[in-house]
Amino acid sequence: MSASSSQNSASSSISQEQLEEQAIKGLMVAYQRMRQEIGKVIIGQDEVVDQLLISLFCRGHCLLVGVPGLAKTLLCSTIASILQLAFRRIQFTPDLMPSDITGTDVLQDDPETGRKTFQFIQGPLFTNVL
């Protein structure tokens, strides 16, 4: 192995480390900004906010379960607003049908041709934050 090839590998590992450090710093800045914005709306739910942000940064999913009045919907709508994402919610009731979540095909008349066609109406599942 020549001296120049070992220098190239050392410089590439340094640049990789610098990239990772910049990514971590960027993630910290994003986390702090989001915590600050969420803190303007949500009070007293620090652990829930932390866990929700962790799942968001890990590209995971999160299910919020709790009694009414704990600001679950407000927290999700606030995060969606901060990130400029679409937000929808589902109110689970005993008569809820799968098509109420996924959407349904509706038979419609085409006024131009007079033909009947099915049009898919999207349910709340087709959103960024549910």
3-state secondary structure 11-79: HHHHHHHHHHHHHHHHHHHHHHHHHHHHHCCCCCCHHHHHHHHHHHHCCCCCCCCCCCCCCHHHHHHHH
Count of beta carbons in the 10 Å neighbourhood of residue 102: 13
What's the whole-model pTM score? Answer: 0.74
Q: Tell whether the model's pLDDT for residue 32 goes beyond 60.
A: yes
pLDDT (mean) for 11-16: 70
Residue 73: pLDDT band (50, 70, 90) is very high
Q: Tell whether the model's pLDDT for residue 41 goes beyond 90.
A: yes
Positive or negative, the CA dihedral 49, 54, 57, 58 is negative
User: In percent, how much of the chain has pLDDT > 90?
Assistant: 74
Distance, in Å, from the CA atom of 83 to the CA atom of 63, rounded to the nearest integer, reads 19
Count of beta carbons in the 10 Å neighbourhood of residue 97: 10
Check: CB of residue 130 under 8 Å from CB of residue 90. Answer: yes
Distance, in Å, from the CA atom of 78 to the CA atom of 85, rounded to the nearest integer, reads 10
Give me the pLDDT at residue 11, please.
54
User: In percent, how much of the chain has pLDDT > 70?
Assistant: 90
Residue at 52: amino acid letter: L
Give me the pLDDT at residue 10, please.
52
Residue 46: pLDDT band (50, 70, 90) is very high
Q: Among 96, 95, 103, 55, which Cα is nearest to 79's?
A: 55
Residue 110: pLDDT band (50, 70, 90) is confident
